[in-house]
Amino acid sequence: MILEENRTASYIRSLYTGNTELLDTIEQEALRDYVPIIRVETQSLLKLLLKQKKPRRILELGTAVGFSALLMCEYAPSDCHVTTIENYEKRIPVAKHNFERAGKCDQITLLEGDAMEIIKTLDGPYDFIFVDAAKAQYIHYFPELMRLLEQDGYLVSDNVLQDGDLIQSRFAVERRNRTIYKRMREYLYVLKNHEELETSIIPLGDGVTLSIKK
Ligand code: SAM
């Protein structure tokens, strides 16, 4: 969507330099198996943000097979710990296997279950939170994420522009996508208007927000 459909996006993608050999392998395996993982534009942005923020405690919602958790682990400081949450039983063993392959089992904690239930039980604080799970739930995760995010912490949310649907009239959106549409618009409104956050909505990949807690 957005950039993806046009030649600018193709050009930007042609400059992509990849990651470590193992990350590139895991990315190819995920794409082969139709597992949704962060796009290359989002990877670049995350790497840049990690370099800038240097987080020590990362929370991720939506592990899939562990690609983005491993990417964050690789590009954050070596003493950073990543806690990541996944509820899809078929993906959990693959993610664990990938963490073993990378030798990162000590640095990554995989919590199995529904993100909404699990985040309520976490203590925090986290200085970097990456939200990449059920899009319709972002607005419901938000109060807990604010509780868990420390001051100056980064909240990064992926897939916020819904393949372009979000800029359409509600009636142009397929009926089955309208709940996500409504909730995502509400989420973006809250991020932009929350007095404790400074937020930028970035039309890259499928749309990413970057919020910093004041
Ligand atoms: N962050 C991953 C990456 O880039 O490598 C991709 C995550 S994928 C887009 C979203 C994942 O969130 C899926 O694997 C899905 O099973 C998981 N998910 C969806 N709803 C969830 C929930 N309520 N609790 C936990 N995980 C959930």
Which residue ranges have their beta carbon within 6 Å of ligand 1?
A: 36-38, 62, 64, 67-68, 85-88, 91, 114-115, 132-134, 137
Q: Is the peptide bond before 143 cis (omega within 30 degrees of 0)?
A: no
Structure tokens, 128 = 């970097």
Ligand 1 atom 26, closest CA: 86
3-state secondary structure of 62: coil
The pLDDT value given to residue 5 = 60
What tens digit of pLDDT does each residue of 109-151 get? 999 999 999 999 999 899 999 999 999 999 999 999 999 999 9
Longest alpha-carbon distance in the chain: 49
CA distance 168 to 143: 27
**Which are the contacts of 25, defined by CB distance < 8 A and separation ≥ 6?**
none
Distance CA 211, CA 111 (A): 24
How many angstroms separate the CA atoms of 46 and 59, rounded? 13
CA dist., res. 73 & res. 17, Å (int): 18
Q: Are 130 and 46 in contact (CB under 8 A)?
A: yes
pLDDT tens digits along 96-118:
999 999 999 999 999 999 999 99
Asked if pLDDT for residue 177 goes beyond 90, the answer is no
Q: How far is the CA of 92 from the centre of ligand 1 (A)?
A: 10
Question: DSSP character for 207?
Answer: -
